[in-house]
């Protein structure tokens, strides 16, 4: 091989190729330049697209590792009956609604909603 990796081109072998195949030196040089440029681009792209080793290991595990599955079966009716028997305390309900109102403004006191709609009617002057 005329191209010695990391040391350049062996000139004696290049002259031998020129004589054996009748190829001009410029053709061989251009071909060698093209090959070197392709290798350089492949190396640059390969180094630019870095993927950490742990990510590759995780992808291999996800793709090829054996898996074991378990199925959990339960009756919705039995679970619903158990929750109905347990019941909900009024204090728990009050705490839930209070928290939801403070954090998300989801549950409003009806008096405030009525007052707000009355105020909106007065502002827009639309008879309802």
Mean pLDDT of 106-126: 56
Q: Predicted confidence band at 58 (pLDDT cuts at 50, 70, 90)?
A: very high
Q: Does position 1 have pLDDT exceeding 50, yes or no? A: no
Weakest mean pLDDT among 9-18, 52-61, 73-82, 100-109: 100-109
Beta strands in the chain (DSSP E): 3-4, 8-9
Question: Per residue in 68-112, pLDDT tens?
Answer: 878 888 889 998 999 889 888 888 888 888 888 888 766 665 555
CA–CA dist 122, 126 (Å, integer):
7
DSSP labels for 14-42?
Answer: HHHHHHHH---HHHHHHHHHHHHHHHHHH
């Amino acid at each position: 091989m005329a191209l010695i990796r990391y040391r350049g081109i062996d000139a004696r072998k290049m002259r031998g190729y020129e004589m054996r195949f009748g190829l001009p030196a410029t053709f061989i040089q251009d071909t060698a330049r093209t090959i070197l440029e392709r290798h350089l681009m492949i190396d640059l792209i390969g180094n630019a697209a870095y993927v950490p080793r742990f990510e590759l290991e995780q992808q291999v595990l996800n793709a090829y590792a054996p898996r074991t599955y378990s199925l959990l079966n339960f009756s919705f009716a039995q679970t619903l009956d158990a929750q109905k028997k347990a019941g909900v305390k009024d204090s728990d309900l009050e705490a839930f609604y209070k928290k939801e109102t403070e954090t998300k403004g989801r549950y409003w006191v009806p008096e405030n909603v009525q007052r707000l709609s009355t105020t909106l009617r007065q502002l827009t002057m639309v008879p309802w």
